[in-house]
């Protein structure tokens, strides 16, 4: 039984260890899916596709001409939570720096910038009107007129709208109206399409975001995840899979977007963007990924105006913020297979954090509560191990007596267990039940932005990263050794030596785990030592 338990636990933690190593490695660059000459045209070419189901291919050879520097304007929007910079070239988002999140955990570190692309032709929040009649783009790489040079919403919250406008050669006036608030990671985008021509416009509109894969291990996951919500369920595809095959969804899509390890980019469809929509995501070339949402059919007569609206969330993956949209956007936060356990654990940690203002203390409280919940099972486990220790000499006698008759040996051992009311599996149950909790907490600590750069005390300044001096893993290994010495064992000499090696193995495995997870296991071990001491004294 001890051999099986050892194997099960070792394999379980090996899975966590390997996944931790893989998640911190850089994903290899994917080979170009298109000829090099087409790569430079990808932002312009992508917009030519009228519907999401069509393949993304190079359709033009003329290079996109970026206007002269003297014609380019940057417009800065300053709020309490972020500073955004837009360019009049395409009325695109050029930069969005989050004031509460730094790249590194140092005083002089740069702020996180959610815009990873620097090429003006590939910047986010790019829109393209496609005419199904003329089969071509009517908007895209133009210089928009803009009404202001900057918005200081921090000091003037009422003046919160940024208006870009452009009149196409075909007589369509396009207005991109961005609205901001001081206390939300939200940008409301309203696109007004005013038909000033004599002809009816029939077509669709694309909203594009091209994301560059970042290799910053500390702040962005090695794998992006794209998501879309339709038919009351979330569809997810990782960038690893997007390299192989694009993601295409059509229908009544409520929201779309993508996320990395800590930050999320979500587009909630509003007026004019909800019915018969589509979502398309694909790996364009090397480390570029396209995310595009497309409206349903737009039919705008002469002198008519059509509005297409989006609520855009650009910020940290905070469930309380995403819940405000009331469309289930919080379900985009993905803890994987153990989400059913991870989500309650995270909510519990946040509850205790409100009182302690320290996630390390919150983890300790959570550990003790989990220990109390498992207390009855643990007591039975310790009693079962004691009972097994008492019958061990009799089991050894049976093994010696029937060593040449395996069937009889197993029968006699089972009869012995029945007579003495011993459950050989009783000692394993608490450990087995705690493994899912361990994995769930691991996902919480590794992927929750609340714990990113969250300090504990002394040398532990980031609970989501490993202990820089490996002090807590070593202490944890010592507590495991003490626990092994205190626990009754029924194995032979070889098995006992193997079990005594477990603290060493676990110490090395935990060395690269998040410090918060090591604290959880360390506190759990200390509580187990106290409980084991009580059992040994009273039985």
Q: Are 274 and 265 in contact (CB under 8 A)?
A: no
pLDDT tens across 108-138, in order? 889 999 998 888 888 999 998 888 877 666 6
Q: Residue 228 has which token pair?
A: 């879309």
Q: Are 5 and 428 in contact (CB under 8 A)?
A: yes
Residue listed under structure tokens 């918005």? 151
Q: Are 249 and 228 in contact (CB under 8 A)?
A: yes
Using DSSP bridges, classify how beta strands 74-78 and 150-152 pair: parallel, antiparallel or unpaired.
parallel
pLDDT tens across 161-202, in order? 999 999 988 889 999 999 999 999 999 999 999 999 999 999
> How many residues comprise the chain?
539
pLDDT tens, position by position, for the chain (539 residues)?
444 444 445 545 554 444 444 443 433 333 334 333 333 333 344 444 434 333 333 333 345 678 888 889 999 999 999 999 999 999 999 999 999 999 888 888 899 999 988 888 889 999 988 888 776 666 667 899 998 999 999 999 999 999 999 998 888 999 999 999 999 999 999 999 999 999 999 999 999 998 877 555 444 444 678 888 877 788 888 777 887 788 888 888 889 988 888 899 999 988 877 777 888 888 877 678 889 999 989 999 999 999 999 999 999 999 999 999 988 888 888 888 888 899 999 999 999 999 999 999 999 999 999 888 877 777 677 666 766 767 777 877 777 777 777 788 778 778 777 777 776 665 566 667 777 887 888 888 878 899 889 999 999 999 988 999 999 999 999 998 888 777 655 555 555 666 677 788 888 888 988 899 899 989 988 988 887 777 677 66
- The span from the CA of 210 to the CA of 115, in Å, is 9
Question: Which positions ≥6 away from 117 have C-beta within 8 Å?
Answer: 123, 124, 210, 211, 212, 288
Going along the chain from its start, the domains and CATH numbers come out as: 2-20+344-538 (no CATH), 33-334 (2.70.98.90)
| Contacts within 8 Å (CB) and 24+ apart, 48-51 | 48/130, 48/136, 48/137, 49/130, 49/280, 50/130, 50/132, 50/135, 50/203, 50/204, 51/204, 51/278, 51/294
pTM of the model: 0.78
Q: Residue 175 has which token pair?
A: 């207005």
């Amino acid at each position: 039984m001890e051999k099986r338990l050892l194997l099960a636990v070792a394999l379980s933690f090996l899975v966590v260890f390997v996944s931790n190593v893989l998640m911190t490695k850089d994903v290899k660059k994917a080979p170009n899916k298109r000829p090099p000459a087409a790569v430079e045209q990808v932002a312009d070419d992508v917009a030519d596709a009228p519907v999401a189901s069509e393949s993304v291919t190079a359709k033009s050879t003329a290079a996109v001409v970026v206007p002269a520097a003297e014609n380019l304007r940057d417009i800065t929007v300053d709020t309490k939570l972020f500073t955004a910079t837009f360019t009049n070239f395409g009325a695109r988002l050029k930069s969005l720096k989050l004031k509460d999140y730094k790249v590194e955990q140092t005083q002089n570190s740069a702020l996180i910038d959610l815009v990873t692309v620097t090429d003006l032709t590939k910047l986010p929040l790019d829109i393209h009107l496609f005419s199904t009649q003329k089969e071509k783009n009517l908007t895209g790489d133009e210089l928009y007129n803009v009404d202001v040079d900057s918005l200081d919403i921090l000091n003037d919250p009422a003046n919160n709208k940024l208006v870009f406008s452009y009149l196409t050669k075909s007589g369509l006036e396009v207005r991109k109206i961005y609205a901001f608030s001081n206390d939300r990671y939200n940008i409301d985008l309203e696109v007004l399409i005013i038909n000033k021509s004599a002809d009816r416009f029939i077509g669709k509109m694309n909203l594009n975001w091209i994301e560059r894969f970042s290799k910053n291990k500390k702040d962005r996951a090695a794998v992006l995840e794209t998501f879309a919500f339709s038919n009351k369920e979330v569809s997810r595809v990782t960038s690893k899979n997007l390299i192989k095959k694009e993601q295409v969804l059509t229908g009544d899509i409520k929201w779309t977007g993508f996320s990395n390890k800590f930050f999320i980019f979500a587009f909630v469809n509003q007026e004019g963007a909800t019915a018969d929509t589509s979502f398309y995501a694909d790996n364009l070339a090397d480390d570029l990924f396209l995310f595009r949402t497309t409206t349903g059919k737009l039919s705008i007569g002469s002198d008519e105006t059509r509005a297409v609206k989006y609520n855009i969330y650009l910020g940290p993956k905070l469930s309380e913020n995403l819940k405000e949209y009331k469309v289930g956007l919080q379900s985009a936060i993905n803890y994987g297979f153990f989400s059913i356990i991870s989500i309650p654990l995270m909510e519990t940690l946040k509850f205790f954090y409100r009182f302690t203002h320290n996630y390390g203390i919150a983890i300790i409280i959570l550990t003790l509560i989990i220990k109390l919940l498992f207390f009855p099972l643990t007591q039975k486990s310790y009693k079962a191990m004691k009972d097994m220790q008492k019958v061990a000499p009799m089991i050894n006698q049976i093994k010696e007596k029937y060593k040449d008759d395996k069937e009889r040996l197993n029968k006699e051992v089972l009869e012995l267990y029945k007579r003495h009311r011993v459950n050989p599996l009783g000692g394993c149950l608490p450990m087995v039940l705690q493994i899912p909790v361990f994995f769930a907490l691991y996902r919480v600590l590794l992927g929750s932005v609340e714990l990113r750069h969250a300090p504990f005390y002394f040398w532990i300044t980031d609970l989501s990263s490993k202990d820089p001096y490996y002090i807590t893993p070593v202490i944890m290994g010592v507590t495991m050794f003490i626990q092994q010495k205190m626990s009754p064992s029924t194995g032979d000499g070889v098995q006992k030596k193997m079990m005594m090696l477990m603290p060493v193995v676990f110490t090395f495995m935990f060395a690269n785990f998040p410090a918060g997870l090591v604290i959880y296991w360390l506190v759990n071990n200390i509580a187990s030592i106290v409980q084991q001491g009580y059992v040994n004294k009273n039985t």
